[in-house]
Structure 1
Amino acid sequence: MAEVSVHKAAEPSLWRRLPLSARWCVLALATGFALQLQQPQLWPQAVYSGLLLSALAGLAVLVWRARQPSWAVPAAASQGVVLLLIACMAFAWAGWRAAWFNASALPAQWHGLDVQVTGVVASLPRLQEGVVRFRFEPEAAMAVQGGQAIDLQQLMDVAWYASNSKSAQALDPAATAVAHLGEGDDGRSGAAAEPVRAGDRWRLSLRLRQPSGLRNPGTFDYEQWLWQQGVQATAYVRDGARDAAPVWLGDTGRYGLERLRQQVRDRLLGSLQHSEHAATALEQRSVGILAALVTGDQRSIDQADWEVFRITGVAHLMAISGVHITMFAWLAMLCVGWLWRRCLPLMLWRPAAIAAAWGGFVLALAYALFSGWQLPAQRTVLMLAVWVVISTRGVRWPWYASLSLAGAVVLVLDPWALQQPGFWLSFVAVGVLLNLASQQGAQQPSRASTPIASAPAAAADAATLVSSHKSWLSWRALHQSGVGKMQQFWQLQWRLTVLLIPLTVSLFGQISWSGLVANLLAIPVVSWVVTPLAMLGVWFEPALVLAKWTMTALLAVLAWIAQWPYSAVFWPIVPWYWAGLGLLAALCWLGPWPAWLRLLGALVFALMLAWRPAPLPFGVFEVVALDVGQGGGVLIKTRQHAMLFDAGPGYLGAGDAGERVVLPALQSWGVVPELLVLSHNHNDHTGGAAALMRAFPAMRVLAPFPQALLPLRASSALVPGRSEELDLSSRMSWCQQGLKWNWDGVEFEFLYPSALQLAQWWSASGDRTPQTPNANATSCVMRVSTAQAAALLTGDIGRLQELELLLANAEQLKADWLQLPHHGSRSSSSERFVAAVAPRYAIAQTGFANQFNHPRPEVVQRYVLAGARVIESPQCGASFWQSLQPESIVCDRAQRRRYWQRPSAG
C-alpha cells in the first residue's frame, strides 16, 4: 500500500509538467518532418548535418542558460525557441537520412542495362498470376554486353514472369518438384527440386530499371512505397532463348525468418490439395486470407476480396494490423500471467503483472517480426513498448501523453510514416480507444490500484472487450458483463466509424456506410476466432479446417453486405484542412460537451461532407490525360458532365488501369462519367473497361466494334466464385462520323469512322474479324470544342486515316490540344496532318522507357518544328489543360514534385 501512495503523491507533478510539453514537442517534431517531406529536391547532406548540429547546440545553450539565476526570458518565448529548435532537428534528421539513402541510388545510365547478377533472395517471394516478385540482394554483377564487372549494391525488387514452361515451373509454389537449373557435381547445369525461396543464392540475367511509378491524383505512389521499403532499383528476369539460363547456387542459410514465413504460407496455401473434397472458389480465396493473417503476405488475398473489404470497410482486419498485434499481445499477457502465478519462486522474484506485460510484449514483437515487420505492426509494437516501460516504472501518464511519446518514437525511426494513411488512421483509432478506456477507468478506480493497470491497460480491455472481473464466476454476472461489453463495443464502434469519416474521405475518397455493421461482425470473428485458429492450424490441422470454414462463411456474409444499396459511396477527396476541421468537429459532436458545442460540431461536420471542388464555368471544358502507362485514358469534364476516352491498359499480373488509375482518380475528384468511348479494340485502350463498367452501371459506351468483342467477362467482386457478364445491350452503341452533342456549351463531335466504313468492316452476320488490316485503323476520332479552343482525340490512327480526315475537312482538324496518334509512332503524324492540326500541346501517353520507343524522336521533332510542345506522360504524370487557358498546361509531377520521385527529363 505504501508503494501505491507514493505513486499517487507523485502524480500531480507529472500531470502538470509532462503532458502539455509532450504534446507540443511532438507537434513540433511532426511539423519539422512534414516540412522536410515537402521538399521537391534534397539539399547536400552536409547542409542537413550542419543544421542538425546547430539545432542541437542551440538547444544545449538554451538549457544551460535557463539554469542560470540571471535568466529572465519569458517562459512563452523560451518555449517557442525550444519548439523551433526541435522542428529544425526533425527537419535536418529526416533530410540527412534521405540524402544518405539517395546517395546510393541506381545511376540513371544503368537504367535498361542487361546484367548477370549473383545474389540472394532477401524476402518472402510474393505470388501473383503469372509472376513472382522478391527482394534480391546483389553480391556480384557483370554487364552482359562487354562483360565488365559493375558495382551493383542496390537492394532490388525483382519480377520473374512465367514467360515459358521453364519459368512457369520454377515459379509454381505448389509444385512438389520444381525444376530449375543448378550446378551439378561435375560443374554442368543439372536439375534440382527447389522453388524460389528466401535465402537461396541465384545467378540471374536481369534488366535493371530505375524505380518508376504512375503519377496521378488519388492513386498509389509506388515510388514512395519503394523508397520506404529501402528499394533503390527494380528489375525483371530475362530468360529467353538468347539469355543465360537462371542458375540456382544453393541455400545460404540466411534470411531464416523469411524462409520460415514462406514455408508456413506455402503450407497454408497447399492445405486445399490435401482436402477430401474439391475446394470451392470461396474456400480457395479464404485460405489466401488465412495465409495473409498468419504471415503478412497480403498478395495471397484475391483482388476481388480486396474489393469486398474496401466496400465494407474491413480491409484493416485482413492484414497484420495493430488490432492483430494488440490481440495477440493481450492473449500472450494472459497466458504468461497465468503460468507465472503458478510458480512461487517467480512470484517472489517479480510481480505477475509486470512479467505478463513484458512477456506479452516480447511475444507480440516476435509475431510482428514473423509477419514481415510491416509499418502497422512496427507502430503497434512501439506503442506497446512505451506502455510496458512506463507501466513497469510505475509512471502514471494520461493516455494522450503515452500516445504522444509513441508517435514521437515512430516518427524519429520512420519520418515517412507521415505520408501513410495507416499512420493517421491507427493513431486516431487508438486515441479514441484510450480516451474511452480512460473514461471507463475513471468510473472504476479500483482497476488502477497497481502501476500496470493504468489507462493503457484499460485501453486494451476496451479494445478487446475483455474483463478480468471475478464476477465472471457467476452466470448472472457473466450475462450482465457480456451485455455491458456488447454495449461498450457498440458505443466504441459507431463513434469510431463517425470519427474516421473525415480521414477516409480525405485519404480514400470513400464513405463505407455498411462499415459499421460489417465491423461489428468482422472484428470479433477475425480477431478472436479466425486469426488464433489459423495460427494454431499451422501445427494442428483441425484448427486450420475450422478457421477455413469460419473465414469462408464470413467472406460470404461480407460479400452479401457489399451488395447492399449505397454500401459504399465515392466522395470527393476533401483538402487536409477540411479533414482536420471535420475531425475536430466530430470530437465536439460526440464528446461530453455542452449542447451548443455538440450542435456546432455536427453542423461543421456536415459542412465538411458537403464540400465540393469548384465547378468549371459554363462553356469551358477540361482535358485530363491520365498517366496510365503504355495506353490511352483521357477524362473530359464540363460544368455538369464528364466522359472518358479509353479506359487504359491491362497490366500483366497486376490488374488494369481501370481499377488502379482511372477509378481512384475519378473518386478523388468526385466525378461520375456518363460516357466511355473506347477508341478501338486493343488491350492498351480497353483493358480497364470492365472495372469502369462495374463501377458505373449507368455509364454508356461508344465503340467502333461490336458488343461481342468487348472483354467484360470477369470474376465478380461481390459474388465470390462466380463470374459475371455485363449486359451492354442497352448501353453500347457505335461511334461514327457525324455523331455530335452539346454539354454545357461545349461541342462534342466524332470525325471518324463513317457509318459506311463501319458497315464495311463488320458484316451483318456478326463476324468477329474486321475487314481491315488492323484494329488501329478503326479508331474513333473525336473533337471537343468551344469558340475559344479545341481538343482532338485520335486513338491509334495511322497515316492513311489521317489522309482521310484531311480530305474530308482539314479545317475541322485545327486544335490547341492533341492526343498524339498511336502514341507518337512513326506510322502516324504525317507532316500534312501536323500542319493542319497545328496544336499548342501534343500529348504522348506512353510507358516509361517503353520497348516501342514511343514517341519516336523524329515525330517529336516534327511537332516541335510546327510550334507545339510535346508532353510525355512518364515525365509529366497526369496533365491538366483547360479551354479557358489554352496556352498553359499543368503536370502533376511538377505540381507535386517530391525528392523520392524519379527525376523527370527537362
Structure 2
Amino acid sequence: MPRVEPSFASACTAVRLSPTIWALAATAGVALQLLQPALWPGWRYAVLGVAAVLLGGAAMWARPHAGARRTQQGLLLLMVVCAAAASFALTGWQALGRQAQRIAPALEGVDVDVIAVVDALPARTSQGLRMQLVVEQAQRANGQAVELPQRLEVTWYAPRGAGAALWPAVSAGERWRWTLRLKAPHGARNPHGWDWELWLWAQGIGATGYVRDSPKNTTPRRLDPAEGRRPVEALRQQVRDAIVAQGAVPGAADAEPDAANDRRRAFGVVAALVTGDQRSIDTADWEVFRRTGVAHLVSISGLHITMFAWLAMRLLGALWRCSPWLCLRWPAPLAALWGGVGLAAAYALFSGGGLPAQRTVGMLVVVALLHSTGRRWPWWAVWSAVLAVIALWDPWALCQAGFWLSFVAVGVLLASGTAGWQLQGWAQRLYQLLREQMVVVLALSPLSLLFFGQVSLVGGLANLLAIPWVTLVVTPLSLLGVLWHPLWEAAAWCVQAMAVVLEALSAWPWASLARAQAPWWAAAAAIAAGVGLVLPLPWQWKALALPLLWPALWWQAPRPAPGEVDMLALDVGQGAAVLLRTAHHSLLFDAGPAWPGGDAGARVVQPLLQALGERLDMLVLSHGDADHVGGAEAVLAQQPQAQLVGAGAAVVAQRLSRSWQPCVAGQQWEWDGVLWQVLHPAAGVQGDGNAASCVLRVQAANGAAVLLTGDIEAAQEAALLRSGQNLQADVLLAPHHGSRTSSSAAFLAAVAPHTVVVQAGYRNRFGHPAAPVLRRYAAQDLVVQSTPQCGAAHWNGVQAQTVACERSLRPRYWSHAPDR
C-alpha cells in the first residue's frame, strides 16, 4: 500500500497538546523576561522571536514524520521551549517600546509649553489636582519643538493658602495649554516597599511633574470645550462630583462635626463603588477594611468585577427564562453568559477602565468564548489559558499583588466548583454567593500574608455580614443612584450602618494577625495549602494541607549574630529614616518626612517593620524638622512599645500624650554586645533645631561602626572635634543630607569613613548633596551612596567596607537609574 504523506491539518492534530502546557510555556517566557535586570538591544529580541517561530514551526511539521517515540518527545519539548522563547521576545519588544517613551534627561527640570488632553478623571488632593495627560504638542520657551512622552502625570498645585473653591477646575477630556516642569518617573526603592516606578511603567507614563503657574510662565488656559473627548471619563467625573456634592451636609454650620465627617466618608465609599475613584475613600476607612478583610468589596478590583458579572449572569438568566420566546431564540445560559460579560465590561469601563478591570474583562471574554464554542476544558486549562492571554497582553501584571489576588480568587472559584449559576431559588443563590466569597477569603489568606504580612482573623465573620450587604444592597443602590440621585442617600446610610459593625470588629485586639514576610518557598507552600483547603477533596486530604501553613506562619526574618549590627538607610525622599538591628533589639533613627495626604512612616517604615517582623525598642528623633519626624506618629501607632528619645520627640510626645527622653552627650548602653553612644548635643542645649540634633555612634564587637548625625552643621561638627570623643566610623550618614553648611574637611578626616550615605530626594529643591560637599568627599576618596541612585542602603558590620544598594541588589529594567 502506498505511503500517504500527512497533511498540515493532520500534523497540527497530531501535535495537539493540552492547552495548559502551551499556556504555561507562554507565561513562563513572559515571567523570565520580567526578571531581566536590563533590556537587550532590539535586534536580539527580533532574532530570538523569528528563530523561535521558525524552529517551532519546523518541529511541529516534523513531529508526525518522526518514527521513534523519543524523537517525538524531543520535538515536543523543542516546541514548548520555542513557545516560551517567542513570548519572551514579544515581551522584550513591548518593554523597549515603553522605554522609548521616557523623557530625555536633557528635558528634566526645563520649562516646556505643552498642549495636552486630560486623559482620565483628575484626582483632587489637599495639594491641588493630579492629572494624567496625553501630549499633542510641546515646545521650549524659545519656540523650539521638543518630543515628550505621550503620557504624563502632573500636579497642578492650588494657590498657596487657597480654599477648595479657588482651585483650578479641570474636567476629563478637556484640551489645555500649560507650562510644565517635568522629570523622569522616579520612586523610592526599599525592601518590601511598593514599586511606584513599576506602576508608572505599567500605565505607560513616561514623565511626572507639575504645572508652572506663575507670571513668568504661560497662563494655563482651556483651548476648546470637552465635548467629544473622553466622554466616559467626563461622565465619570460628573457622577463623582455629584456624589461628593450630595455628601456635603446642608447647613454645615449647624451640623455636628463628627456626623458631617461620617457622612462625607460614607459618600466617598459610594463614589468609589460607582466610579472606581478609590481616592474618595478615607484613609481611616481603608485601614478598617483591611483589618476586617473586606477591602475587596469596596474597590473596583478584578474580583469585584468578576463577582458583578456572575451576579448579572444569574439575574439575566432568571429574567430570560421568564420568556419562552427569548429562550427559543437563544438559550438562556448563553444569553446570561454574554449579557453578564457585557454588563461587567460596561461597569469596568465606567469605573475607570484601569488595567485590573481590562484584564478581568479580557479573562471573562476568554471564558465566555470557550463556553460558547462548546470547548469543555477542565478548570486548570481555562485558568492557565486566561493567564497566558493576560500575561501576553499586559506582562507587568505578573509583578503586581492585585493581579494575583484577583486571579487566584477566580481560579479557586473555578477549582472548587462554586463558579456555576445552576442553583434555583433566591435562598440557594444567596447561599452560593456567600459560599463563593468565604472560599475566596480562605484561599486568599496565604496570599495576603505573602504580599502584606498580615491576615484578617475576623475576615470570615466580617465577610459573612458584608458580602450580601455590599453585593445585594449597597452596590445596586449606588449604581441606580446614577438614574435617581436620592438613592445615593440610601446607599450612604447603608455604608454608615456597615461601618459601625466593621469598626467594632476592627477594634478587637486580635482582628488581624501580622507575621514576618516569608520567603517564596514558604509562601508557595502556604498558597498550596489554601488552595487544597477549598478544593472539593475528602477531608483527609484537606487535613494534609494544614501542615503546609506552618512555615509561613512561624517564619522569622534572619537577624544579626550577637556582637553584630546591621543598618538599613531607607529611601524616603528628602528626609531621613535609618533602621539598626542587633541579635534581639531594634532602633529606628528618625521616621522620614510627611507630605500632604501621607507620610514615610505609613508608606515606607511600617511595611518594612511588618515584613521583617520587627518590634522596635527605641525610636530616636534626632531633631524636630518635618523631614525627620513626619512619619513618627504612624510608626508609633504600629509600635507603641518603642521608647521615644531625642530633641524631635518633644512635639510628637506632646501630641500623643506620652513620655520621652532627650538625647544628651555621654549616654550609652549595650545591646547584644553592640555599643551605642550619644555624642551630641551637650547637656543644656535647648530647642529642637539642627543644632540640637542627636548624634549616635554604633559600634559592633569587631570594631566596625556607623555614625548617624542628623542635621548638624559645621559649628556642631567643630564642637564634636573639640570634645575629643571617638568619631571614627566605617559608614557616615551625611550631616544635613549633604548640605554645603556641613561635612567640613576636618570632620571628615576625624571620622575617616569608607562610605558616606546621603539620604535626599531626587532633584530636590535644596540641591542636596551640594557640589562643594561632593568635592570634599572626593578629595578624601570616600565612596558616596546617595539614595536617589542607590535606593535603600544596606550595611552590616561583618563586611564593614561594603554598602549594598537596593537598586543593585534587585535590579529591574523599568527602574530609573539617574546619574546623580
8 Å contact 1:142–1:149 — kept in the other structure? Answer: yes
- What's the offset of the Cα at 1:111? 1.1
Alpha-carbon separation, structure 2, partners of 1:225 and 1:419: 10
| Percentage of matched positions with identical amino acids | 43
Identify the range of structure 1 (243-252 vs 590-599) with the bigger mean alpha-carbon deviation: 590-599
Change in Cα spacing, 1:87 to 1:344, as seen in structure 2 (3 Å) is same
| Correspondence for 1:699 | 642
1:98 counterpart residue number: 95
Confirm whether residue 747 of structure 1 aligns to residue 689 of structure 2: no
The equivalences for 1:331-350 within 5 A come to: 331-337=311-317, 340-341=320-321, 346-350=326-330
Q: For residues 316 and 424 of structure 2, what CA distance do their matches in structure 1 show?
A: 15
Q: In structure 2, what is the Cα distance between the partners aligned to 1:542 and 1:330?
A: 27
Distance 1:247 1:688, change over 3 A: same
**How far apart are the structure 2 equivalents of 1:296 and 1:539?**
17
1:259 aligned to 2:234?
yes
Query: Per the alignment, in what secondary structure is the counterpart of residue 756 of structure 2?
Result: strand
Following the alignment from structure 1 to structure 2, what is the Cα–Cα distance between the partners of residues 647 and 233? 28
Residue 737 of structure 1 pairs with residue 665 of structure 2: yes
Deviation at 1:498, TM superposition (A): 4.0
Aligned partners of 2:434 and 2:467 also within 8 Å:
no
Separation in 1, partners of 2:160, 2:224 = 23
Q: Conserved in 1, the CA contact under 8 Å of 2:415 and 2:535?
A: no
Partner of 2:620: 677
Partner in structure 2 of residue 722 of structure 1: none
Taking structure 1 as reference, are residues 405 and 512 closer, same or farther at Cα in structure 2, changes over 3 Å only?
Answer: same
Counterparts of 1:706 and 1:788, CA distance in 2: 30
Matches within 5 A, 1:516-665: 516-588=460-532, 598-651=542-595, 653-665=596-608
Whole-angstrom distance in 2 between the partners of 1:124 and 1:593:
46
Aligned pair partner of 2:295 in 297, 315, 319 = 315
Give the number of equivalent residue pairs.
Answer: 800
- Which range moves more in the overlay, 338-347 or 508-517? 338-347
Separation in 2, partners of 1:76, 1:794: 65
| Amino acid across the alignment from 2:153 | D
Residues 676-713 of structure 1, C-alpha deviation per residue, up to 9 Å, x if partnerless? 00000010000001101111111111022573x22875
Over aligned residue pairs, what C-alpha RMSD do you find?
Answer: 2.4
Separation of aligned partners in 1, 2:458 and 2:324 = 51
1:82 matches 2:79: yes
Taking structure 1 as the reference length, the TM-score comes to 0.84
- Cα contact 1:133–1:160 (8 A) shared by 2: yes
1:829 — aligned with what? 743
- Answer yes or no: is 1:459 the counterpart of 2:419: yes
Following superposition, the deviation at residue 365 of structure 1 comes to: 0.9
Match of 1:808 in 2: 723
3-state SS, counterpart of residue 594 of structure 2: coil
How many Å separate the matches in 2 of 1:559 and 1:79? Answer: 57
* Structure 1 spans left out of the alignment, 5+ residues: 1-15, 172-179, 181-194, 438-457, 473-477, 714-725, 762-769
Q: Check conservation: 1:26, 1:407, Cα contact below 8 A.
A: yes
Higher mean displacement: 209-218 or 896-905: 896-905
Greater mean deviation of Cα atoms: 816-825 or 500-509: 500-509
Contact 2:60-2:75 at 8 Å conserved across structures = no
Contact 2:149 2:205 in 1 (8 A): no
One-letter amino acid of the counterpart of residue 499, structure 1: A
Deviation at 1:273, TM superposition (A): 3.2
* Whole-angstrom distance in 2 between the partners of 1:490 and 1:365: 23
Aligned mates of 2:534, 2:741 — CA distance in 1: 64
Aligned counterpart in structure 2 of residue 273 of structure 1, from 248, 263, 276? 248
Query: Within 1, Cα distance between the matches of 2:597 and 2:610?
Result: 20
Determine if contact 1:794/1:819 at 8 Å carries over to the other structure: yes
Counterpart for residue 414 of structure 2? 434
Q: Where does residue 209 of structure 1 map in the other structure?
A: 183
**Does 2:392 align with 1:403?**
no
Deviations 1:284-309 (A, max 9, x none): 11111111111111111111211222
Of 617-626 and 377-386, the range deviating more from structure 2: 377-386
> Aligned residue for 2:364?
384
Q: Residue 250 of structure 1 aligns with which residue?
A: 224
How far did residue 336 of structure 1 move? 4.1
Comparing 336-345 with 562-571, which one deviates more in the overlay? 336-345
Alignment equivalent of 2:631, drawn from 688, 693, 707: 688
Task: Identify the residue that residue 160 of structure 1 maps to in structure 2.
Answer: 156
TM-score (normalizing by structure 2): 0.93
1:109 partnered with 2:106: yes
Q: Secondary structure at the match of 2:607?
A: helix
Question: Aligned equivalents of 1:644 and 1:796: distance in 2?
Answer: 16
Q: Separation in 2 of the partners of 1:551 and 1:743?
A: 49
After superposition, what is the alpha-carbon deviation per residue over 1:104-153, rounded to whole angstroms, capped at 9, x for unaligned? 32111111111121211111101222221111112222213x34222234
Equivalent residues of 2:302, 2:403 under 8 A apart? no
Indicate how the Cα distance of structure 1 residues 869 and 257 shifts in structure 2: closer, same or farther if over 3 A, else same: same
Match of 1:672, SS state, is coil
Give the 3-state SS of the residue equivalent to 2:419 in structure 1. helix
Match of 1:453 in 2: none
Partner of 2:657, secondary structure, is: coil
Shift of the 904–273 alpha-carbon distance from structure 1 to 2, 3 Å rule, reads closer
Match for residue 808 of structure 2? Answer: 894
Question: Is the Cα contact below 8 Å between 1:616 and 1:639 reproduced in 2?
Answer: yes
CA distance in 2, matches of 1:295, 1:460: 28
SS in 1 for 2:101: coil
Does structure 2 retain, via aligned residues, the 8 Å contact 1:161–1:167? no
Contact kept, 8 Å, 1:154 with 1:233, in 2: the verdict is no
Q: 2:192 matched to 1:218?
A: yes
Q: 1:125, 1:197 within 8 Å by CA — same for their partners in 2?
A: yes
Q: Indicate the larger mover: 273-282 or 128-137.
A: 273-282
Query: How many angstroms does 1:51 deviate by?
Result: 1.1
Question: How many angstroms apart in 1 are the aligned matches of 2:230 and 2:535?
Answer: 49
Structure 2 residue aligned with 1:728: 658
Partner of 1:442: none
- The answer as to 2:810 corresponding to 1:866 is no
Q: In the TM superposition, what whole-angstrom CA distance separates every residue of 1:346-400 from its partner, at most 9, and x where no partner exists?
A: 4443223322222221121111111111233223212221222222222222222
Deviations 1:624-645, CA, capped at 9 Å, x for gaps: 1000000110000001110100
- Indicate whether 1:32 and 2:60 are aligned: no
Q: Is the 8 A contact 2:621 2:648 kept in 1?
A: no
Paired amino acid for 1:736? V
- Classify 1:904/1:493 alpha carbon distance in 2 versus 1 (closer, same or farther; 3 Å): same
Q: Residue by residue, what CA displacement relative to the aligned partner does 1:530-580 show, whole Å, maximum 9, x if unpaired? A: 111101112223321111001011122212211111222332111222211
Report SS of the residue matched to 1:67: helix
Partner of 2:652: 710
Partner SS for 2:504: helix
User: Structure 1 residues 234 and 271, CA, compared in 2 at 3 Å: closer, same or farther?
Assistant: same
Please list the CA deviations of residues 318-345 of structure 1 after superposition, one character each: whole Å capped at 9, or x if unmatched.
2112343234323433554455456665
Equivalent in the alignment of 2:3: none
1:776 is aligned to 2:707: no
CA distance in 2, matches of 1:566, 1:712: 29
Q: What per-residue deviation string (whole Å, max 9, x for no partner) do you get for residues 618-677 of structure 1?
A: 1000011000000110000001110100000012x3300000011111122111211100
Distance (Å, rounded) in 2 between the aligned partners of 1:604 and 1:153: 47
What letter is aligned with 1:792?
A: L
Q: Following the alignment from structure 1 to structure 2, what is the Cα–Cα distance between the partners of residues 604 and 645?
A: 38
Deviations 1:151-175 (A, max 9, x none): 234210011111336795453xxxx
Alignment correspondent of 2:342: 362
